[in-house]
Each structure stands twice: as structure tokens, then as C-alpha cells.
Chains A and B, each alone.
Chain A
């Protein structure tokens, strides 16, 4: 009575076929990542050394290390964070906690989504106009970082807003009903419980910012500048641009040098992502509701 019929067999075959199909797609998804990493490690690994990390490029960039570019990337990312995190987190708090649900708020949300969709080269040109020329920062770390900040603002806003909204409404009601103001509610309950999500957003921003090339090309990153920047109004080298330059602009660069730069860059990004995952796991382990 309960034995499988022809229909059951057919259903089972279909079910297996789809499972296999989806599995295959997933495999295809991770294949490029594995190939890229393998190639980079194999070809760029030999280039890695203390000297590579801590010396300036030499001999027309066909020898030497990447130190100025490494330091430059850290500068760019740090200044971009300083600019975008306060603005991004504050506006996310406004949108999630204070903004009434009306057409204006929806317009702002739409603008944020669109900001995330603007091509990075357009951001670059905007940066040239707004920061380099109009604000008069010239080609500098400040101009380049602000351009990066504008570009990655949506990441911070969306990540922060989502982690704020993930805090159960019951907690807010509980606070309001004890006579807490909105700000007391946010400060004492909402933020402590959404900090892991916010940090994740910030770290994702770091990894995205450190890899961007177009936005910094015209706004403050130099092709070759063997000195370390002394302040935010200096120009600087950056890893991403350095890689682009080595690959396309300079003849006779030894292959392992290019791969070495790419490896360091992707290593930084992956380390940041790993850090963000670690944060998440740690902070999620602490909160229970």
C-alpha cells in the first residue's frame, strides 16, 4: 500500500537531478576563487619577503618592494573610514530609528541604493570635481579617501541599518515603556546588540576600499612615489593602482613581482573578511535572545 509507484520514482529522479544541478552551480561559484588563490600563491608566493614588503620599488619599478604602496593603502583606507563611518552609522541610526515612514525617507533609501550602483569611475570623476578641484584639496590622500568614502557609504549605511533593524522591536517597546527616550533606547539596548553587524559592515568597507583603483587614480594616488606620505594633503602610492601600473604601464616587470602585489592585496582583503567573520561569531556567541 505504501510501496513506491512510478510517480514516486519519477519525483525522486527529478529531485535528485535538481539537487545535483544546484550543487554544481555552487561548485562553479567557488571554483574561480580557488583558482585565483592557487595561482596567486604559486606565482606570487616566491616574491614575498620582508624586503619585498618593506622596501620601495626600484629600477623603474621592475625590482624592489611595495612599502610605499602598502603604507599608502593603509592611509587611504584609514582616512576613508574616519570620514565614512561616523556619517554612515549616524545616518543609518536616523533611518532605522527616527525617520518616519514617508515618501521622503523612501526617497533617501532609494538614493542610497542608487549610490551603491554608481560605477566607480563615475565616483572618481565626481571626486575630481568635488574634492580635488572644488574643495581645493588637490590630488591628495584626503581627496582620494573622501572619494572612497562616498563610494562605500552605502555599504556602511545598509549594513548598519540592517543590524539595527535586526534588534527585536520588543526590546524597544520595553525601553519606551519604562520611560526611556529614543536615544537612551538606542544607546543602552539597540547599539550594544547590533554592534557586531555594524563592525562587519565597517570591515567589509575596509576590504572593498583597499581594493578600489578607479576612484583613487585621478584623486590622489600616484604612479610612482618612493617616499612615504607625511600628511593627508600628500599624494601616495596604493597597492591597487601599483598592480594596475605594473601590469599595464611598465615594460619588463618580472611576473612574480606582479603576482606578489596581487597576493598582498588579496591577502589584506581576505584577512579583513576573516576578521569580520571572527567578530561576528564572537559577538553572536555572546548575545542570546
Chain B
């Protein structure tokens, strides 16, 4: 029993028996997924297999994007049930940040983008300009963007390169100190060099943040994740250490997919 408790404490995300319907369409079937704290887990699978749906149900953004979403089962983030009645979605999303396929910085300055979430969630006390500058520098430094933009923080974020925009989209999550960052194919709009830079960054964030990343890119899953989970038709097929899953998949479907036989 004690062991189970300790084990549960190490989990940042714990998905148990989750089924999800969009209206009458069932997108997820009894999905289980355990994500260890501070680890990077890749979700792979062909289009429409439910990996984005699973990702989006962790911070419950599904409910905003499409109405008529029904979820059964349980999803715990840091031992807290996110599907509970009293969960405030805004609180949850502060703790569980998200990065999208296409970089979506707000049409504000770089500085205001970084401070956006911070300003939403600060309670009461005002920050001095210097304190805010500190927050901006720390966040941008963490995503390896500080040197590039430090002289031009008032520049419109939407005019940055796509790579810089995507890094900024990660940076703006950091000031509110999320424990989990969800990434939905974060490099699919980027060129190979930018993809590599992003992967390096994601790897750097390991340990400080728990990262769940959806990717279509097998090589990316291999390079930039510690564990990989393979989904097919709304079901979790296999989940294990990345190296193991790619070298010795237990399930024939997994083997077929990673060898490129479908998807």
C-alpha cells in the first residue's frame, strides 16, 4: 500500500479508464496513461487515433473547443482529480500549460506575451517594472530566446520567426510555474533546423517540467522523449520507455506503425 502511494506521488498525470465522446462519436476507449513527474512522454499514433483528444482532456480544453464532450473515467494531475465538480478550469490550465501546432503568440509585444499569463494569475500585489523585467528575462532565457530578442522586447510577437514564436509560446507559460506542459505537434509548422532547436529546448526542460508531447514524427519521439505511448483508434496500445518501444515493441500493431506500415 505504501509503495502504491509513493508510486502515485511520482505521477504528474494519471489517466485511468478514460472514455470520451464528442456527441455520439466515441474518440477514446478506456485509455490508461501514467506520466512520471519531470519526464517527457511522447504520444504517437496515426491521425485520428485520439492522441490530441487525450492531450486536450488533461487540461480540459476539449470542453471549450467543441461542445457536447462527455468524459468518463478519471484524470489526475498531481494527485488531483481534474474532472471533479469543483475544479476551476482556469486554475487547472495555469498548472497545465499547452503549446500548439501553429505558434500562436498573441498580437502583443514580446514582453507582454511573456507577462500575459502572469498578469492573469497574479493575485493582488503589483509588480514593479524591474520585477517584471526579471520575469521576462528568466522565461526567455529558459527557452534560449533571450539573446535574440533582448534588444527588442517591444516588437510585435507575431513578426518573429516561427521558431522564435514557438519558443515564446513556451516561454509565456513559465512565469506562472506550471508543472505540466502539453505540446500538440509543436514542431509541425517548423523547418528542420527550427525543429531541432525546439527538440533541444524540450529536452532541456525535462526535469523541471513534465512534458506530454503529441507527435507525428517518429524520429522526434525517439530523439526527444523518455517514454512513448502508442495509440490506435482511440485505444492505448502500448506504453513504455522510448528506446524499448522502438526497438522491441510488444504489440504487432505498434511494430507495424513504427515501421511505417500505416499512418
The residues of A with any CB-CB pair to B shorter than 8 Å are 100-101, 168, 170-171, 173-181, 184, 188-189, 193, 287-289
Which B-chain residue is minimally distant from A170 (CB atoms)? B104
Chain A to chain B: the 7 pairs with minimum beta-carbon distance, closest first? A178-B117, A179-B93, A170-B104, A179-B94, A177-B98, A179-B90, A174-B104
Contact code string B54-93 (vs A, CB < 8 Å = 1, else 0): 0000010100110100000000000000000000011111
Cα of A177 to Cα of B107 in the assembled complex, Å: 16
CB distance from A289 to the nearest CB of B (A): 4
Which A-chain residue is minimally distant from B68 (CB atoms)? A100
Interface centre among B92, B105, B116 (most CB of A within 10 A): B116
Check if B97 is an interface residue, CB within 8 A of chain A.
yes
Cβ contact of B67, chosen from A100, A168, A288, cutoff 8 A? A100
Which residues of B, 208-235, contact A by the 8 Å Cβ criterion?
A: none
CB distance from A98 to the nearest CB of B (A): 12
Number of contacting residues on B, CB 8 A?
Answer: 31
Interface centre among B65, B107, B121 (most CB of A within 10 A): B107
A174→B105 contact, CB < 8 A? yes
Cα of A52 to Cα of B52 in the assembled complex, Å: 70
Check if B29 is an interface residue, CB within 8 A of chain A.
no
A179→B156 contact, CB < 8 A? no
B61→A176 contact, CB < 8 A? yes
The A-B contact count (CB < 8 A) is 66
The interface residues of chain A lying within 8 Å CB-to-CB of B172 are 178
CB distance from B41 to the nearest CB of A (A): 19
**Contact of A173 with B100 at beta-carbon distance under 8 Å, contacts A178-B93, A288-B158, A289-B107 already known:** yes
A180→B120 contact, CB < 8 A? yes
B106→A177 contact, CB < 8 A? no
B106→A174 contact, CB < 8 A? yes
**Contact of A289 with B158 at beta-carbon distance under 8 Å, contacts A171-B106, A179-B121 already known:** yes
Check if B47 is an interface residue, CB within 8 A of chain A.
no
**Contact of A174 with B159 at beta-carbon distance under 8 Å, contacts A179-B93, A180-B120, A287-B107 already known:** no
A180→B90 contact, CB < 8 A? yes
Cα of A288 to Cα of B107 in the assembled complex, Å: 7
Cα of A170 to Cα of B159 in the assembled complex, Å: 16
**Contact of A177 with B61 at beta-carbon distance under 8 Å, contacts A189-B107, A289-B158 already known:** yes
